[in-house]
A and B are shown apart, each in its own frame.
Chain A
Amino acid sequence: GAVVSQHPSWVICKSGTSVKIECRSLDFQATTMFWYRQFPKQSLMLMATSNEGSKATYEQGVEKDKFLINHASLTLSTLTVTSAHPEDSSFYICSALIPGLAADTQYFGPGTRLTVL
């Protein structure tokens, strides 16, 4: 299957600082990528859809000024958590979309665990 990487795999930061997470499609080009968040013992929640060369589309309740998404190339999307607070501590996962003739398939990265102190 297609390979998606994330960097870093984990990060610890102080409250008030900003953290950038990278998501790369390694062996294919991805016009569309997605960002999810997962709290302990919960399922994945979609945060936003990232489209190459255009503004991201955020899900209801997700602050676009806090979670900045940039999809500047066909293989890279970044999520920046600005002014992070302890409640932003979570597992952040990206996925990249491979469109098909009749059905799309998303391939997921390994995730980034963010801990805000």
Chain B
Amino acid sequence: DAKTTQPPSMDCAEGRAANLPCNHSTISGNEYVYWYRQIHSQGPQYIIHGLKNNETNEMASLIITEDRKSSTLILPHATLRDTAVYYCITMEYGNKLVFGAGTILRVKS
């Protein structure tokens, strides 16, 4: 079973920042937080991952709370092409990804 909780859906205006929350209150010290997204009828796309420090790459930023019980994925300037299902997954090194239901993000013009 997935060990994260995400809102089922969110809307975001095009050009605005999309902030996707994830609760992982039972995360262990060795588990990383991974974010993937899946655009309709495609394979999941890796976005970012982190352990306890905030991370940023060309796609997004990941903010992890100090107690590591929750995190937020930030898409700084959402476009229509960012409409997808976003999955937040916690995983320990050497283990397997377990996908939950994710958050459907709808970016609207």
Interface pair B43/A103, CB less than 8 Å apart: no
- With both chains docked as a complex, state the minimum distance between the C-beta of A25 and any C-beta of chain B, in angstroms: 13
Interface pair B100/A93, CB less than 8 Å apart: no
- Is B109 interfacial (CB 8 A cutoff)? no
Restricting to B32-66, which residues have a CB under 8 Å from any CB of A? 32, 34, 36, 38, 41-46, 49, 51
Interface pair B41/A103, CB less than 8 Å apart: no
> In this complex, what residue of A is CB-closest to B87?
A43
Interface pair B46/A106, CB less than 8 Å apart: yes
Chain A residues whose C-beta falls within 8 Å of the C-beta of B101 in the assembled complex: 43
Interface pair A111/B49, CB less than 8 Å apart: no
- Is B17 interfacial (CB 8 A cutoff)? no
Interface pair A107/B94, CB less than 8 Å apart: no
Chain B residues whose C-beta falls within 8 Å of the C-beta of A105 in the assembled complex: 34, 46, 49
Restricting to B64-107, which residues have a CB under 8 Å from any CB of A? 87, 93-94, 96-102
Cα A116 to Cα B75 with chains together (Å): 39
Interface size bracket, B side? 20 to 34
Chain B residues whose C-beta falls within 8 Å of the C-beta of A106 in the assembled complex: 46, 97
Q: What per-residue 1/0 map shows which CB atoms of A78-117 lie under 8 Å from chain B?
A: 0000000000000101010000001111111111010000
Cα A109 to Cα B38 with chains together (Å): 11
* Residues of chain A whose beta carbon lies under 8 Å from any beta carbon of chain B: 1, 4, 6, 34, 36, 43-46, 49, 91, 93, 95, 102-111, 113
Known: A1-B46, A91-B41, A95-B43. 4 other contacts (CB 8 A): A49-B96, A103-B32, A104-B93, A110-B42
A to B CB contacts below 8 Å, 12 in the list:
A4-B43, A36-B99, A43-B99, A43-B100, A43-B101, A91-B41, A95-B97, A102-B51, A103-B51, A104-B94, A106-B46, A108-B46
* Residues of chain B whose beta carbon lies under 8 Å from any beta carbon of chain A: 32, 34, 36, 38, 41-46, 49, 51, 87, 93-94, 96-102
